[in-house]
Amino acid sequence: MKVPVFNITGEDTGKKAELKKSIFEIEPNNHAIYLDVRQYMANNRRGTHKTKERAEITGSTRKIKRQKGTGTARAGNIKSPIFRGGGRTFGPMPRDYSFKLNKKVKQLARKSALSTKAKDNKIIVLEDFSLETPKTSEFNGIRRNLDIIDKKSLLVLQEADKNIYLSSRNLQDSKVILVSQINTYDIMKASVVVFVESSLEALQKNIS
């Protein structure tokens, strides 16, 4: 599959970028995409939720009333879960939500996500560019020229560019990542995936 290469003014440069069939034209595996996205979200969970059990509550252990003769249920101490301010029964405890996923499954998921975007014509190839200074309006101008100003976009760079990153940092519907950081979650979340020429070349070289 060949797609046109655009410049930052939104004009077709006349060049064509080749998208490998083995990456951009496979039959998408939805279950692999689900597993990879689930792992990404699970691995990003902090898992620091915590409530105090009765042994961790500060309070007296004195028996608050006599065992019998009150006409009410017997009670031990004020830290009991049945009292206000007492411990929590079976409350959440810190835990690690992360889990491992086979590398081949993750690779299949990324290929499936990229193939889905390619099938829907949601992949744009852009000439390599740089910004002299970090300027959000200039970055937004590039998005406007590419007609993706109102879409959630993912820009994939080959190398880190501080000015491009700072220019896009305040935009909620735009994300800039390196090709080494590309993942299924970000691909599927974006409406449009924009590769610069060098990042596309690096991607196709590293993913067989």
Domains observed in the chain? 2-28+99-206 (3.40.1370.10)
Q: What per-residue confidence (pLDDT) applies to 109?
A: 97
Q: Is the pLDDT of residue 36 over 90?
A: yes
- Mean model confidence pLDDT for the chain: 94
The pLDDT of 11-20, averaged and rounded, is 93
Q: Measure the CA–CA gap between 152 and 149, rounded to whole angstroms.
A: 8
- Percentage of the chain with pLDDT > 70? 100
DSSP string, 53-110: -GGGS-S--S--S-SSSSSS-----TTSTTSTT-PPTT------------HHHHHHHH
* pLDDT band of 1, cuts 50, 70, 90: confident
For tokens 């101490």, what's the residue?
Answer: 77
Neighbours of 143 (CB within 10 A): 22
Q: What per-residue confidence (pLDDT) applies to 196?
A: 96
For tokens 């797609």, what's the residue?
Answer: 3
In sequence order, the 6+-apart residues with CB closer than 8 A to the CB of 54 are: 79, 80, 81, 86, 87
Q: Which residues pair with 153 in a beta bridge?
A: 174, 192
pLDDT in tens, 159-182: 999 999 999 999 999 999 999 999
Q: How far is CA 168 from CA 63, 79, 131, 173, 193, in A?
A: 62, 52, 11, 9, 15
pLDDT in tens, 83-138: 999 999 999 999 999 999 999 999 999 999 999 999 999 999 999 999 999 999 99
Q: How far is CA 128 from CA 7, 67, 141, 176, in A?
A: 8, 80, 16, 14
φ, ψ of residue 145 to 5 degrees: the values are -65, -30
* pLDDT band of 195, cuts 50, 70, 90: very high
Q: What per-residue confidence (pLDDT) applies to 87?
A: 94
Q: Is the pLDDT of residue 208 over 80?
A: no
Q: pTM of the predicted model, to two decimals? A: 0.84
